[in-house]
Amino acid sequence: MLAKSLSALILSLFLATAVLAIEPAKSPAPSSPVASAPAAQQTGPPTASQPAGGQSAQTAQAVAPATPTKVRPNRAITISMFMVIIAVTLCVVIWAAKQTTSASDFYAAGGGITGLQNGWAIAGDYMSAASFLGMSGLISLYGIDGFMYAVGPMFSFIAILLVVAEPCRNAGKFTLGDILSFRASPKTVRGVAAISTVTVSLFYLIAQMVGAGKLMQVLLDIPYRVSVIGVGVLMVGYVVFGGMKATTWVQIIKAGLLMTGTVLLAILVMVKAGMNPINFFSDIVGSQMIQDHVRMNVLKDAVPKEGFDYGQRFLEPGLFLKNPLDQISLGIAWALGAAGLPHILMRFFTVPNAKEARKSIVVALFINSTFFFLINLIGFGAALYLTPQLISSVDKGGNMATLLLAQKLGGGAGSLGGDLFLAFICAVAFATILAVVSGLVLAASAAIAHDVYVNIFKDGKADQQTQVRVARITSLFVGIAAIIMGLAAEKENVVALVALAFAVAASGNFPAVMMSLFWKRFNTAGVVGALVVGTVSALSLVMISPVMTYPQKIADDAKKVITTLETKQAEGVVLAEKDAKALDKARTDLQKNDGGTSMVGLKAPLFPLKNPAIVSLPLGLLAAIICTFLFRDRRAEEMFDEIEVRQITGLGIAKASDH
């Protein structure tokens, strides 16, 4: 019955995608930021009074004919590759579904995943579309500041490897709630942990759903709603039928594809640079287009400063994260946030012992470090061989940089090599989103089904069949909720959602996990204090931070453009076509946004930093300590010796299931 249901799903998906493949392309939709990339909202458009990218008029004329307005992949080739990935992953789901019979199978793949396999799966969990598309775009527009975004994830796995992986594997079972409730009041802690898990997972999940919709809309002219629903149906199928085993293998397949595409693209960049990194970066510094971009679009210097090296400035920090505190806060969120992400913590329970847990983190650290190092080459290569002006003309956030570069290095737009390579990279980005959302749905559904239903409502007495059935039903409803919220969030700033996910994980989950494992006096009040204060403070600060959308700021920027261009007209200057369009757009933006406020009713941000971790993490930590001292719990202290033995030896942990 299950196989028939999945076969019907595969057939319907193939028919739907086949129709899309042969359907004539609709008129191009306006370019939209893709995914949850850090650069997607935070970069501004080129100064309207200048030619594209701020280059000289002569240079602009030379570049303009070749400047695309969007990425144009071969529709048939790209959708065919999408179909292949969907078919392969659904076959994996059918295989995994036959082996998923118990709660342990559904939540943790029966603990039968090897360290090598789990390492690839963790890497797949962590390498999102934001990393693949957004970070390279950020580097192509802001140079070394984008590099700081890319190296941050490398350090996060060091914290996990040295501190979290082995103790969590030995002290928990399926979820974050299992770890935190071991020596605290189980029902209270599981309830709060479930809320925190669902909060982090949903915000991260919505960002991925919006990213999937925008990606399909921009690349293939598939309507946003159709894209979101399609991705939602697929991810629900992966999780509901296949559980953790299917999700794990989808992650492994996705990670393999992503690394293949990244390595190929990085090699092509270095081949074009003559395999000489010194000359490569010298060419970047000497590029007139990059110098013009830094001068006019980033630093806003209408007249060049005498003796100032704008090319060298591209390789120095401070173009994007101008406030040093922002850099520190970002580093805190990267380094500690991953260690508190529920879908990452769940992966420690899929391996048979602590040794394999450590091995999986070493493998994931190596894969992720390689990936993020190569992303830097791709980003800088895009800046040099495409130019920031061209990249920002296609998407102001730079999120299309990787795709444009793949098409160019594959042979150019319209060539067979260019179309094939671009289609492959697009398919990889699509698989990336599918894999990440599957892991997030599983984490959220596990928190609701295992922590809330089984352990709070049923006092842990539900039989295996009931647990699996409830887990699948919960996954279905989480998936439906994600689809609905993704549709509702089409025009929302997804950057804020990603920032919120990492900030909450670092501010609430990480202190709670660390203290539960290593502080003898820590208790129920401390767990609740850390989770509640950390979550609420991170949420509140993000809502009043610069990453939110402020209509009044858009209106004020539009006023500046209008003033500049109308002054030129008053002086008798005939506006170029680009400037005339910019003037019309500015007038529209002013009319739509003047007097508008953000989601929480603000006209301007109250909190100056783009990432709140530098404030919310100390607040969560302080709340945990204060609450622990205010409400002492002798039982929690007495049980510390037991959890210490368990986390060191693995005593009492269930063995892997045999399949």
Q: What is the per-residue pLDDT across 352-409, written as a single tens digit (0 to 9) for each? A: 877 888 888 889 888 988 998 899 999 999 999 999 999 888 877 787 888 889 989 9
C-beta of residue 170 within 8 angstroms of C-beta of residue 649: yes
Annotate 493-542 with DSSP letters as a single string.
-HHHHHHHHHHHIIIIIHHHHHHHHH-TT--HHHHHHHHHHHHHHHHHHH
Q: Whole-angstrom Cα distance, residue 342 to residue 346? A: 6
C-beta of residue 245 within 8 angstroms of C-beta of residue 105: yes
Q: 571 by DSSP, 3-state: which?
A: coil
Q: What is the per-residue pLDDT across 12-23, written as a single tens digit (0 to 9) for each? A: 433 343 333 333
Q: Whole-angstrom Cα distance, residue 50 to residue 576? A: 10
Q: Whole-angstrom Cα distance, residue 354 to residue 645? A: 13
Work out the angle between the directed axes of helices 416-446 and 464-488 (0-180°, nearest 10): 130
Confidence of residue 47 (pLDDT cuts 50, 70, 90): very low
Annotate 367-424 with DSSP letters as a single string.
HHHHHHHHHHHHHHHHHHHT-HHHHHHH-TT-TTHHHHHHHHHTT-TTSHHHHHHHHH
Q: Whole-angstrom Cα distance, residue 63 to residue 48? A: 17
Q: What is the pTM of this model?
A: 0.77
Stretch (H or E) spanning 601: none
Q: Whole-angstrom Cα distance, residue 449 to residue 468? A: 9
Closest CA relative to residue 159, chosen from 373, 326, 344: 344
Q: What is the per-residue pLDDT across 327-337, written as a single tens digit (0 to 9) for each? A: 888 888 877 88
Confidence of residue 589 (pLDDT cuts 50, 70, 90): confident
C-beta of residue 222 within 8 angstroms of C-beta of residue 216: yes
Residue 461, both tokens: 């007495």
Residue 259, both tokens: 């690394």
C-beta of residue 551 within 8 angstroms of C-beta of residue 598: yes
Q: Whole-angstrom Cα distance, residue 366 to residue 345? A: 18
Architecture of the domain made up of 2-497: Up-down Bundle (1.20)
Burial 117-126 (b: 16+ CB within 10 A, else e): bbbbbbbbbb
Sequence-distant (≥ 6) Cβ neighbours of residue 40 within 8 angstroms: 33, 34, 134, 397, 399, 494, 495
Residue 345 identity: L
Q: Whole-angstrom Cα distance, residue 450 to residue 454? A: 5
Q: Whole-angstrom Cα distance, residue 147 to residue 151? A: 6
Q: What is the per-residue pLDDT across 466-517, written as a single tens digit (0 to 9) for each? A: 888 888 888 888 888 888 888 887 766 565 566 677 888 889 888 998 888 8
Q: What is each CA distance from 547 to 107, 326, 607, in whole angstroms? A: 34, 12, 10
Q: What is the per-residue pLDDT across 251-306, written as a single tens digit (0 to 9) for each? A: 899 899 999 999 999 999 999 999 999 999 999 999 999 998 998 888 877 678 88
C-beta of residue 285 within 8 angstroms of C-beta of residue 309: yes
